[in-house]
Structure 1
């Protein structure tokens, strides 16, 4: 597996642990529907939350959250629709982005963008 894939999976694990620490419940990881994949599906206060995780080891090329483009959002919404139908979910949903940053000292920091798009 390529190094960037390893870092992405590590970031997803860290983000899931961080969200669980905030009281979120992990429902699913790496849910696939056709060409789309949802990194994390969480539940918090009765809301089903579809989370896109982005990792960066710096901001020289831009902030992590800026890399969720129109096409990616469209794919995430399609996959979320499939998941909602599959699970027969009838309550609210939300799309979040969790940015995972690793600084030069190796410290990990998180930024969560709730209700980032729809």
Structure 2
């Protein structure tokens, strides 16, 4: 087995972030930061000594939404993998987040197996 995959979580729901961290840690992943909105995410990406391999990105957030955050991340860190993870299942929003640079979309809620499978696609 190679290096432990590093992950950032961007979601305005603190309870959901905590749940995701537990699930990901149980799956053998390392969550290196969590952010409550896009501005928080960009700040943590710039200041964190470790770079995540992948970011789980909510779409609907205050301050800076997932669309703009994804666009900014891909401009600054084009190699970064982004899984958009949202309760929005409207086809236009999914197409828009993919156009902003998300690598895949995962609906909320999803099973732990679906989450692990989506992340392992990028290992």
TM range (shorter): 0.3 to 0.5
Question: What TM-score results when the alignment is normalised by the length of structure 1?
Answer: 0.41
Question: What TM-score results when the alignment is normalised by the length of structure 2?
Answer: 0.40
Higher strand share: 1
Higher helix share: 2
